Structure 1
């Protein structure tokens, strides 16, 4: 049985074995330079973890607010072991940042809980573009690892 602990994981850890998994990714196109980098890092890591390329489905939506709707549609198909949300929200001069960040995050969580399906939330919320660029690769990679680990964990609970 797989049990979560506080230690760091490496790609040989059985919790990160993606060979039998099917993963769905929803990528927001807004701030595409960042979200494209997130998606590339995420897909590269999923492949490194053994997820077969034919078992990775990537769909794109206009922005972060649309991510939860696409996640829900994918969850309803019942063919995914885990999902990944990718997006980038950069603070502007209005309240819109808070609205989009809060509502997209709540939507992602709601889909995960409603469908009892792990969703790695890698919708970046940053103060500026430099912060987003600094996080794009690591967060894409982290999302892949979270999705695989949580899919394996839920399979064994």
Structure 2
């Protein structure tokens, strides 16, 4: 039996981040906590690319274009969708989530989806730092796991 080890060492990885600017105060904290954690995991600052877009619905298109360059080992989606009084919340949440997932599967690249969906600003503020850090850990771990799978496959 072969067990692929969890690996949070990011010194060799290139990471792309796409952040929705809607609710930018919270989004900026989400991005900052994510980048701090990436650096703590060894990702070199020069190997982190950040792009911002107006809102969560625009995130998948930029992720897709970053993935198409084949220059990244993993991508991270950041943003906040806060419930309002209309159906728009569900539309944006569902479509952005589906788009992020589709890009990852279509391009075979791990994408840490940290687009928060909350009822209000207080919930988003309570989650922004931990979810930014979580996204960094997920991106590094998944990039390393896929590399290990490809190396194991090539060795057979």
Q: TM-score range by the shorter chain?
A: over 0.9
Q: Does 1:30 align with 2:22?
A: yes
Which of 47, 56, 61 in structure 2 is aligned with 1:69? Answer: 61
User: What runs of 5+ residues in structure 1 fail to find an aligned partner?
Assistant: 5-13
| Among 95, 104, 122, the residue aligned to 2:96 | 104
Q: Deviations over 1:79-98 (max 9, x none)?
A: 00000000100000000000
Question: Contact 1:88–1:123 at 8 Å: present in 2 too?
Answer: yes
> How far off is 1:100 after superposition?
0.1
Residue 150 of structure 1, CA deviation: 0.1
Root-mean-square deviation (CA, aligned residues, Å) is 1.1
Equivalent residue number for residue 47 of structure 2: 55
Structure 1 runs of 4+ off > 4 angstroms? Answer: none
1:101-140 aligned at under 5 Å gives the runs 101-140=93-132
Q: Say how many residue pairs are matched.
A: 148
TM-score normalised per structure 1: 0.92
Q: Whole-Å Cα distance in 2 between the matches of residues 15 and 35 of structure 1?
A: 27
CA offset at residue 143 of structure 1? Answer: 0.1
Aligned to 1:3: 4
**Bigger Rg, structure 1 or 2:** 2
Shift of 1:3: 2.4
